[in-house]
Amino acid sequence: MLQLQRLRRLAGANCLLRRHSATWRSSPQNASFAEVLQLEDKKLTGVVFPLQGLERYLAPGVNTASFRTFSPSLDDIHRAEALFKPSGRHVIDYFSSAVRMDHAPQLSQPEVCFVGRSNVGKSSLIKALFSLAPDVEVRVSKTPGHTKKMNFFKVGKYFTLVDMPGYGYRAPQDFADMVEAYLQERQNLKRTFLLVDSVVGFQKADHTAIEMLEEFGIPYVFVLTKIDKASKGLLVKNVLEIQDFAEKHTQGCFPQLFPVSSIEYSGIHLLRCFIAHVTGNLPMMNS
Ligand code: GDP
């Protein structure tokens, strides 16, 4: 509680600074953690820890231990945000694209990649993660039949984020050609984020991706997108189904899933912190 009060005081000062600078640059509401810290407690929990925010909608006796597998302090979340904010020497930017693995840039820093069906909300999520670096251009290719690319974003010297082509009915070949080769060959890949739409749940193509990740022994984590669109009942149902699936049928999947809304910024701050953690940029004691 004390920590929250101290952070809120600090955040209040930051918000004043932000209001001053809003004339030349503004980012969407709740994009920065300082703003989130101004929310009242219940709202704050829902935005920062959306899984924990769902607990009050669960039937009594439901085991929620896996909801807190990754449970950083507010301080950790605050510290992690610095990675996603550009400054003089910390440059965050689009780096390059590739359509084949032999065109992929040779980068030795830790890497994370984002995969998911077309339309799952991948570009929106990457934009939300980078919302504090408004100069970063997240390129989107939505034209059917147009070759999709792997897009590499460098986050200073700390890590690379890779946006993989969306899979599904529009681009089955891109997925086989690019994603499979990337997953098999990329030595510095630390974690794959597999996006699932919270309204429609798992689809057949998601299971194909899961099989591939399991077969290659790649560590991955589920991200449940567009949670502002799903009713609480549907969200709880899909969360419990996916957590249950992860626990019983997977080896390489992180037991906790990450629900996000790229519109309301729910889960975005926690996800930034998890990325900082898995890329070795935020050592923490209890995770
Ligand atoms: P991609 O094909 O996976 O890159 O998907 P996009 O990011 O382009 O999103 C597909 C559609 O879902 C777009 O119409 C987005 O506006 C919408 N969308 C993405 N994320 C969210 C979200 O968090 N909430 C809501 N309500 N809509 C979203």
Q: In which band, very low, low, confident or very high, does the pLDDT at 107 lie, cut at 50, 70 and 90?
A: very high
250 lines ligand 1 (CB under 6 A): no
Domain for residue 271, yes or no? yes
CA angle 221, 226, 230 (to 5 degrees): 110
Domain for residue 199, yes or no? yes
Q: How far is the CA of 124 from the centre of ligand 1 (A)?
A: 5
Domain for residue 33, yes or no? yes
Strand order in the sheet with 220-225: 92-98, 150-155, 159-163, 111-116, 189-197, 220-225, 258-259
Q: In which band, very low, low, confident or very high, does the pLDDT at 28 lie, cut at 50, 70 and 90?
A: confident
Predicted pLDDT of residue 100: 86
Inter-residue long-range contacts of 240-243, CB under 8 Å, 24+ positions, other chains counted: 240/58, 240/62, 241/201, 241/202, 242/196, 242/201, 242/202, 243/66, 243/67
Domain that holds residue 70: 1-279
Domain for residue 286, yes or no? no
Query: Could you give the maximum distance between any two Cα atoms of the chain, in Å?
Result: 55
Q: How far is the CA of 4 from the centre of ligand 1 (A)?
A: 32
Query: How many beta carbons lie within 10 A of that of residue 168, not counting itself?
Result: 18
Domain for residue 139, yes or no? yes
User: What global pTM score does this model have?
Assistant: 0.90
Domain for residue 87, yes or no? yes
Domain for residue 287, yes or no? no
Dump pLDDT digits (tens) for 220-269.
999 999 999 999 999 999 999 999 999 999 999 999 999 999 999 999 99
Q: How many domains does the chain have?
A: 1
Q: Provide the CATH number for the domain around residue 137.
A: 3.40.50.300
Q: How far is the CA of 166 from the centre of ligand 1 (A)?
A: 12
